[in-house]
Amino acid sequence: MMSVPRYWREIPERTRFEGARCTACGNTLFPPRMKCPKCGSEALEKYKLPQKGKLMTYTIVRSPPKGFEKMTPYVLGMVKLDDGTIVTVQITDVQPNQVSIGMQVESVFRKISEDGESGIIEYALKFRPIF
Ligand SMILES: [Zn+2]
């Protein structure tokens, strides 16, 4: 397939776990935004987030949005990263009944869809438990 080299080049871009850091107040956020939600500053810089954290709370999603039916049920969790940044992410590689608050998790990138025509592969950031 002609487009193979192109999308392989795109993978590093899509799989970098990068957030933003506000240079005014030090707040870190993910996904990155144009403006700091804490202090309103627009002086944000790229910030590499830690890959590990702790599950603070979670919910089991049984009626997913259209296009994600195959994934049910899945676990949506709020993870507090090692630097204190809070991210809302899907928890993967675990049965919903094995998820517990306080468990250690790490980031992982998973292929979520592949468009055969354009050759574009989409990746999503997920977290999996560290056992
Ligand atoms: Zn700020």
Q: Ligand 1 center to residue 27 CA distance, Å? A: 5
Give the Cα separation of 104 and 129 in Å (integer): 6
Q: Ligand 1 center to residue 87 CA distance, Å? A: 17
What are the sequence ranges of the domains in the chain? 4-129
Secondary structure E strands in 1-131: 18-22, 28-29, 44-48, 52-61, 74-81, 86-91, 104-115, 120-129
Q: Ligand 1 center to residue 2 CA distance, Å? A: 44
State the pLDDT confidence band at 1, using cuts at 50, 70 and 90: very low
Q: Ligand 1 center to residue 28 CA distance, Å? A: 8
How confident is the model at residue 15, as a pLDDT?
62
The model's pTM: 0.75
How confident is the model at residue 122, as a pLDDT?
73
**What distances in angstroms separate CA 24 from CA 10, 20, 93, one per listed residue?**
32, 12, 38
Q: Ligand 1 center to residue 52 CA distance, Å? A: 23
Phi/psi for 20 (5° steps) reads -135, 155
Q: List pLDDT tens digits, range 11-62.
A: 454 566 888 999 999 999 888 888 999 999 999 999 989 999 999 999 998 8
DSSP annotation of 64: P
Q: Ligand 1 center to residue 37 CA distance, Å? A: 7
Dihedral of the alpha carbons of 71, 75, 80, 81, in degrees to the nearest 10: -30
Q: Ligand 1 center to residue 81 CA distance, Å? A: 18
Say if residues 113 and 7 touch (Cβ distance below 8 Å). no
Q: Ligand 1 center to residue 42 CA distance, Å? A: 8
Q: List pLDDT tens digits, range 65-122.
A: 777 677 678 899 999 999 999 999 999 999 988 999 999 999 998 877 776 677 777 7
How confident is the model at residue 73, as a pLDDT?
84
Q: List pLDDT tens digits, range 35-47.
A: 999 999 999 999 9
Q: Ligand 1 center to residue 55 CA distance, Å? A: 24
61/6: higher pLDDT: 61
How confident is the model at residue 31, as a pLDDT?
83
